[in-house]
Amino acid sequence: MSAARRKRVAVVTGTRADYGLLRSSMEAIAARPELELRVAAVGMHLLPRFGSTAREIERDGFRIDARVRMQRGDDSPTDQALGLSRGVAGLARFFHQAKIDVALLLGDRIEAMAGALAAVTTGVALAHIHGGDVAAGDFDDALRHAITKLAQLHFPATRKSARRLLRMGERPERVHCVGAPGLDRLRLLLEQGPAPSPAGGAHPRSALTSARRVRAPRHSRPGRAAGRASPFSPYALVVQHAYGRSAAEEQRAAAAVLNGVAGAGLRRCVIFPNSDRGHRGVLRAIERHAARSDGHVRVFRSLPRDAYLRALIGAAVLVGNSSSGLLEAAYAGTPAVCVGERQAARETRRSAVVLCGEDAQAIRAATGQALRKRIRPRCGGPFGDGRAGERIAAILARTPITPELLRKRIAY
């Protein structure tokens, strides 16, 4: 890298979820005179079925420098594998043509894996956020740990995750425990005070316009509610993802979640799942549940990050298998019901979470248990203080990109 120019950092984002977590780092990178931000929007961001969420990146004021289509979103068994290959090829071309110095990515999805493989094969330094975590998922842990072994710089969210990286042979001077960046924007919103939630009774027009709400089918009629909710009931934020099982299995699990929450007498604010294999089953369960409701279900393809966090802050409980139930919910002061095995063994603030299986009656009981919890907000537990993005940008700015950095060596 020439000393005459700024260090070019390419942030690779593949989903609405990882963009929400990466946003604070992107803002901090853009604000530093030593760094030059480049943005690659890939994967799920480019799928209309899931809200074409690349538009959210642009609405937040970021320029998208590369768009790489990966998954087709057709839920076929080979969609993920073929999407990975397209992602590696497209991102490698971008990194080379844009003369990228560092690729910054997060987590364990195939979009992150594509960015990691493209970086190491084009001689680009790789920085990885949320390495060292444990979450069963589909092949999530395998991808996360593989990315760790490819990366030169590590930004784990917790001390336990940092210790795992050291036990994997990563060099201590390259492991920086920065906290969970998902808390950064949440901290700012909590400091701003109350604001209308897009999931509640009154909500700002801008939130509705950008949220790409999916209305219940027209044959939905009063008197066919799935539960005992009323227009004045509290609401549950429901986020249930597919994680590699058949569409039929994912449909049964999602139906159990929705029916369990309805049985607890709550309105439901439901967010579309990710694009992983089996997602069609989740979508089918949402559609059928919404068709039986009489206005107690609101479905969104996607929510902008701020709108999602407002919905989380205003919810009585979060139910499903999203990582936000274990990371952000407790910081927002919202109890969570973690359903099934997708997040098994993930670190969390245990006092704020109820674990249960994929059974409607168990979910109903767990939801009732969660509603009785009183969670103190702005306590990050093991995940830090909500300033991870600032720390990540500062470390990237002061770290020289040298041949020695790029040469991976096991520390033992």
Q: Specify the pLDDT at position 350.
A: 83
| Sign of the alpha-carbon dihedral angle for 336, 344, 226, 271 | positive
Q: Is residue 202 over pLDDT 50?
A: no
CATH architecture for segment(s) 7-181+386-406: 3-Layer(aba) Sandwich (3.40)
Taking only the tens place, the pLDDT of each residue in 379-393 is 768 999 999 999 999
CATH 3.40.50.2000 residue spans of the chain? 7-181+386-406, 185-382
Integer Cα distance of 304 and 57 in angstroms: 9
The token pair at 192 is 């701003």
Mean pLDDT check: name the lowest of 18-32, 55-69, 190-204, 349-363: 190-204
Q: Specify the pLDDT at position 276.
A: 83
Integer Cα distance of 233 and 30 in angstroms: 43
How crowded is residue 59: how many other Cβ atoms within 10 Å of its Cβ?
A: 11
The larger pLDDT score, comparing residue 75 to residue 311, is at 311
Taking only the tens place, the pLDDT of each residue in 24-49 is 999 999 999 999 999 999 998 999 88
**pLDDT band at 205; cut points 50, 70, 90:** very low
Contact 201, 231 (CB under 8 A): yes
Q: Specify the pLDDT at position 141.
A: 87
Taking only the tens place, the pLDDT of each residue in 70-126 is 988 787 878 889 999 999 999 999 999 999 999 999 999 999 999 999 999 999 999
Q: Is residue 396 over pLDDT 80?
A: yes
Which pTM was predicted? 0.85
**pLDDT band at 348; cut points 50, 70, 90:** confident
Q: How many CA atoms lie within 13 A of 352 on its CB side?
A: 27
Integer Cα distance of 251 and 322 in angstroms: 16
Residues of the chain with pLDDT > 70, as a percent, come to 89
> Is 368 strand, coil or helix?
helix
The CATH number of the structural domain formed by 185-382 is 3.40.50.2000
Residues of the chain with pLDDT > 90, as a percent, come to 73
Q: Specify the pLDDT at position 207.
A: 31
